[in-house]
Structure 1
Amino acid sequence: MLTALATAAVSGSLLGPGAAPALAADDLYASNTDLYTKLAGREGIDFGRRYKRHERADNSTSAVAPFHRTTIMALHGGGIEPGTSELCLGIAGYHPATFEVTPAGGPVHDYWMFEGLLSSDNGSMHVTSSHCDDRVALSMAGGSLNVLSLHGCTAAQAGVAGSRPEAVVVGGRNEEFKSRLIAAFQDAGFQTVDGARISALAGVDPQNIANRTVLGQGGQLEITTELRRSMFGTFTRLGRPGSTNEVFDRFVAAARTAVARLETSASQTIL
C-alpha cells in the first residue's frame, strides 16, 4: 500500500526531461523540467540543486522500522526568495555555513532545495509549487509522511503591511501540522497568520509538492521579506549562511518543535 501511495504521489512526474512572482501565470517556465531544458548547461551557474537523503535500513524480519517521516524543502532558494535555503538547512538540522548537525546530536531530516545563483533577476526562475516536477523532489515528497515547504512572500501578500511587517503565514493541507506550527511560532513570539485567510498563500492545492506526500497533505510556510531579513546580519547569498542570528535560531527551533510534535502524534502511525 505504501508503495502504491508513493508511486501515485509522483506518477506522471518522472517523464523526461528579490521577489518572486506571486502566481503561476507570472512564471517564465512552466515547470522545473521546462526550466532545466531551456537552461541546459547552466546548472551551477544560473541555478543549483541540493538535497540530502539519510540512509535507512530494515534488515529485521520480526520488527517494523518507522516509515520516513519529514522532508524539508525550499523550492525558491538562493536569490529567488532569499533566506529560505538557509532556513531549509537549519530546520533539517544542519548549520547553513558548516553543515554541522545543529544542535549537536539533534534529529536531522531529509532536505531538497532549488536555488537561484544569478547576481540579479533570480525571480525569473520561480516555478510555482504545483508545477514542481523535479524528479528527486517528487520522489522525496512521495516517500515522506510530511513535507514542510518554505517560501518567501511580501508583507502585502501576507496582509501585514504596516508597522509590523515581520510575519509567517502557515498553510498546507495537513490541519494538524498547521495547528502545531501556528502554536510553536506564536509561543516563540512570531506574528503568525493562518493561511486559510489568504487563498493565494493557503498551500492547499493537492498538486502543491508540499501535499504530494504519502498522506496527501503537508505544511507550507510563507515568510515575509522583513522577517527573513531580520534573521541575518548580512542579507546576501554569500553572507547569509555565516551571519544567522537569534531570530533565525528561534524560528528554526519553533519549526523543529512543531515537526517533532507532529512526528510523535497518532496520525503518524503507518502500518
Structure 2
Amino acid sequence: MNIYRSFQQLAEKEREGIDFRIQWRWGRTGIAVMAPHGGGIEPGTSEVARAVAEPHHSFYHLDGLKRKGNGRLHITSTLFDEPAALEMARRSWKVITIHGCDGANPTVYLGGLDEDLRARVATVLRSRGFSSAPHPVFRGDQKENLCNRGSSGAGLQLELSEALRASFFARLDRPGRDHPTPIFFEFVAALKTALAGLSEP
C-alpha cells in the first residue's frame, strides 16, 4: 500500500539524509537509468541502475535509508513526481526504470511503451541465460509512468523478481549488497549490450 501519493507528502513526513536520500548524475547519451524505489525500498535496484548507467548514461535513484520499514517510502510510478527525477526524465530521450517485485523465480518482467526496446532487451537477456516475461500487473504502459516520461514518450520498465535480485548479491540487506556476484555483472553486461547503439532518431 502506498502511503504517499506525491513526493511533497513524503518530504513533509520523512527526513532527507536520514530516512532517504536522492542522488543523480548526468550522462551524455540522452538515456537515463533510474531507480525510483532504490536502497531499502526495493533492494538491489539502485545497484543495478547505477552499474548499467556507468559510465555514459544518466543515473538517478531515491534511496531508502531506514533500518526497517522502507516500503513506506514507495511512491507508485504513475505518481512519482520528485523534481530532480522529473527534470532528468524531461531532458532525456529514453528512460529506463529498474524496479523490484516479489517472485520466487529469477525472472525479469519487461514493461514500458517502447515495444522495440522491450524485444531487444528480451533477446539479449535470453542469449545470456536470463528469463524474461511481461508482468501480469506491472506493465508500465501508462503515459504517466516514469519510464514513459522521456521526450520519446516511450520507455522501458524492468521489474526484477526477488529471487533474481537475491542472486545478484551475497545478501539483499545493505551490507550484503556491497558484495555483488558474477550473476550481477553478467546481468549488467547484458543490459549494457542491449542499450549500446541506441540513439535518438
Fold agreement, TM-score > 0.5:
yes
Alpha carbons 1:182, 1:194 under 8 Å: kept: no
Give the C-alpha shift of residue 237 in structure 1.
Answer: 1.2
Question: Offset at 1:28?
Answer: 0.4
Partner SS state of residue 51, structure 1: strand
Q: CA deviation at 1:260?
A: 1.1
Question: Which residue pairs with 2:183 in the alignment?
Answer: 247
- Does residue 116 of structure 2 align to residue 176 of structure 1? yes
2:32 to 60, 66, 71: 71
For residues 86 and 74 of structure 2, the distance between their equivalents in structure 1, rounded to whole angstroms, comes to 17
1:29 aligned partner: 4
Hey, which of these two has a bigger chunk of strand by percent? 2
Structure 2 residue aligned with 1:64: none
Instruction: Write the distance in 2 (CA, Å) between the matches of 1:149 and 1:83.
Output: 13
Partner of 1:110: 58
Please give the alpha-carbon distance, in whole angstroms, between the structure 2 residues aligned to 1:150 and 1:79.
14
C-alpha separation in 1, matches of 2:12 and 2:114 = 33
* Counterpart contact for 1:76–1:126, Cα < 8 Å: yes
CA distance in 1 between counterparts of 2:25 and 2:151 reads 19
Which ranges of structure 2 fall in alignment gaps of 5 or more residues?
none
How many residues end up aligned between the 2 structures? 201
Q: Provide the rounded CA distance (Å) in 2 between the counterparts of 1:236 and 1:30.
A: 26
Q: CA RMSD in A?
A: 1.3
Unaligned runs of 5+ in 1: 1-25, 57-67, 94-106, 156-160
Q: Which runs of 4+ in 1 moved over 3 A?
A: none
Alpha-carbon separation, structure 1, partners of 2:151 and 2:107:
29
User: Does residue 92 in structure 1 map to residue 50 in structure 2?
Assistant: no
Q: 1:32 deviation in Å?
A: 1.4
Question: Residue 43 of structure 1 corresponds to which residue in structure 2?
Answer: 16
Q: How does 1:1-271 map to 2 (within 5 A)?
A: 26-39=1-14, 42-54=15-27, 68-93=29-54, 107-155=55-103, 161=104, 165-195=105-135, 198=136, 200-241=137-178, 243-261=179-197, 263-264=198-199, 268-269=200-201
The TM-score with structure 2 as length reference comes to 0.95
* Cα distance in structure 2, aligned partners of 1:194 and 1:239: 29
SS in 1 for 2:196: helix
Tell me, yes or no, if the aligned pair for 1:151 and 1:223 is still in contact at 8 Å: yes
With the length of structure 1 as denominator, give the TM-score of the two structures: 0.71
